[in-house]
Amino acid sequence: MNLALFDLDNTLLAGDSDFEWAQYLIAKGVLDREVHEAKNQAFYDAYKAGTLDIHAFLEFQLAPLARHARAELDVWHREFMETHIRPVIGTAARTLVERHLSAGDLCAIVTATNSFVTGPICREFGISHLIATIPAHEGGHFTGAPRGLPAFREGKITRVEAWLESLGLWWGSFEQSSFYSDSLNDLPLLAKVSHPIAVDPDDTLRAHASQHGWPILSLRVYDASAQK
């Protein structure tokens, strides 16, 4: 059995679901454009630069969830899926995931983006396992804080290992472990698996992948040879 792990934003998606969720709420008038748009962009730029303060970001990103009823949030998310997410899921990304699922690989999306935003996206791909930052909730309402360790940088390794242990598995249970990612922030988990794949990578990850002989794949222009 093989293990296939997928980053989500700018990897399986040709965009960033965290960023787009905030932009969606701004467009609906749920968040004040003047106050939130610049902050959203600044956090996104910090993430791309590898300098994101994950706790400051989560304080910003999870706060809107606490101000609205879950039923209302779910209605908004269905619209968000239709307008912002399905248009950035390419055929190549769906094909890649389906190839792993059809091969009987154990598949999971591993993302720093919170599970409220990413759960329906994970289901859209037909992947049963999601390792994401968890937004805490009490009595059916989000609190605006994360629960447990965010699935970010080295935290992704810790969260993946805890998930594998819950299934009675570990890294040695697999003939091959793969992780697909675009981001320098995912270098720790990429270095952990037996088969790291850089997907439409940022400049830092591209240079690292080239130096270490990792495959570089584009899901914008699908190249099956990069899978070999």
| CA-based nearest residue to 205, from 193, 217, 194 | 217
CA atoms of 55 and 60, how far apart (whole Å):
9
User: Where in the chain does DSSP place strands (E)?
Assistant: 3-6, 106-114, 129-138, 141-147, 177-181, 195-199, 216-217
Residue with tokens 């679901």: 17
Question: Which tokens belong to 200?
Answer: 């439409």
Angle at 19 between CA 18 and CA 23, to 5 degrees: 120
Single-letter amino acid, residue 76: W
CB 164 within 8 A of CB 170: yes
User: Known catalytic residue: 186?
Assistant: no
CA atoms of 54 and 151, how far apart (whole Å):
10
Active-site residue among 9, 18, 105, 202?
A: 9
Cα–Cα distances (Å) from 189 to 25, 151, 178, 192, in that order, read 31, 11, 10, 5
**Phi/psi zone of residue 73: left (φ > 0), alpha (ψ -120 to 50 degrees), beta?**
alpha
User: Known catalytic residue: 18?
Assistant: no
Positions marked active-site: 7, 9
